[in-house]
Amino acid sequence: GAGVSQSPSNKVTEKGKDVELRCDPISGHTALYWYRQRLGQGLEFLIYFQGNSAPDKSGLPSDRFSAERTGESVSTLTIQRTQQEDSAVYLCASSSPSYEQYFGPGTRLTVT
Cα gap 81→85, rounded to integer Å = 12
Backbone angles phi, psi at 37, to 5 degrees: -125, 105
Site membership for another protein, residue 41 (CB under 8 A) = yes
Cβ proximity to another protein: between 76 and 105 the closer is: 105
Stretch that binds another protein, among 12-20, 64-72, 74-82, 100-108 (CB under 8 A): 100-108
Residues whose CB is less than 8 angstroms from the CB of residue 21 and which lie 6 or more positions away in sequence, other chains included: 6, 7, 8, 11, 76, 77, 78, 79, 90, 107, 109
Q: Which of 1, 42, 63, 70 binds another protein (CB under 8 A)?
A: 42
Site membership for another protein, residue 105 (CB under 8 A) = yes
Q: Which of 7, 13, 50, 87 binds another protein (CB under 8 A)?
A: 50
Cβ proximity to another protein: between 16 and 51 the closer is: 51
CA 30 to chain centre: 15
Cα gap 66→10, rounded to integer Å = 19
Among 51, 89, 57, which Cα is nearest to 70's? Answer: 51
Site membership for another protein, residue 75 (CB under 8 A) = no
Interface residue list for another protein (CB under 8 A): 4, 31, 33, 35, 40-45, 48, 50, 56, 58-59, 91, 93, 95, 100-106
